[in-house]
């Protein structure tokens, strides 16, 4: 059974996806300032945004998920603060990124979460999204 991490980070700068487990873990430590063995999933993308690699540690070893879109590009999160090396996203946003959904659809999804409910996204909201995905309601 795959254990999905509680925290999802998206690297904002493209990386060479020829790199594998140890080199990507090194990038997480040195450039992103995170612990690659913690309960964190890190999303890397290439310059053209046609491929993504997800790296996480499941408690017994590193796992990599590698995906290439047949057509189009991945939409890396839109709300990137200046100078940020990574952005934390919810499981719902990760699912949207992995589907290659365009920016307009991603904006609409964000609008439906925040203004429609009138409450900010909290750790509980993120946990609920992840629980939904684990239960098979999502497509990750």
Residue 28 dihedral angles phi and psi, to the nearest 5°: -60, -45
pTM of the model as a whole: 0.68
Residue range 52-105, pLDDT digits in tens: 999 999 989 999 999 998 877 887 766 677 888 888 888 888 888 888 766 566
Inform me whether the pLDDT recorded for 137 exceeds 70.
no
Q: How confident is the model at residue 1 (pLDDT cuts 50, 70, 90)?
A: low
Residue range 10-56, pLDDT digits in tens: 998 999 999 999 999 999 999 999 999 999 999 999 998 889 999 99
| Spacing of C-alpha 39 from chain mean position | 13
Q: How confident is the model at residue 140 (pLDDT cuts 50, 70, 90)?
A: very low
Query: What residue spans of 1-102 are helical by DSSP H?
Result: 21-30, 91-99
Taking the C-alpha atoms of residue 6 and residue 42, their distance in angstroms, rounded to an integer, is: 11
- Gyration radius of the chain over CA positions: 15
């Amino acid at each position: 059974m795959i254990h999905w991490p509680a925290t999802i980070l998206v690297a904002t700068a493209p990386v060479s996806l020829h790199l594998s487990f140890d080199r990507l873990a090194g990038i997480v430590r040195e450039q992103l300032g995170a612990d690659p063995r913690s309960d964190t999933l890190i999303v890397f993308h290439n310059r053209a945004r046609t491929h993504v690699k997800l790296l996480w540690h499941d408690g017994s070893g590193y796992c990599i998920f590698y995906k290439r879109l047949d057509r189009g590009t991945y939409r890396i999160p839109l709300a990137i603060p200046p100078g940020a090396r990574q952005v934390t996203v919810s499981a719902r946003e990760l699912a949207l990124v992995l589907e290659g959904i365009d920016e307009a659809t991603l904006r609409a999804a964000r609008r439906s979460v925040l203004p429609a409910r009138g409450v900010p996204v909290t750790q509980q909201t993120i946990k609920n999204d992840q629980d939904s995905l684990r239960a098979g309601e999502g497509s990750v």
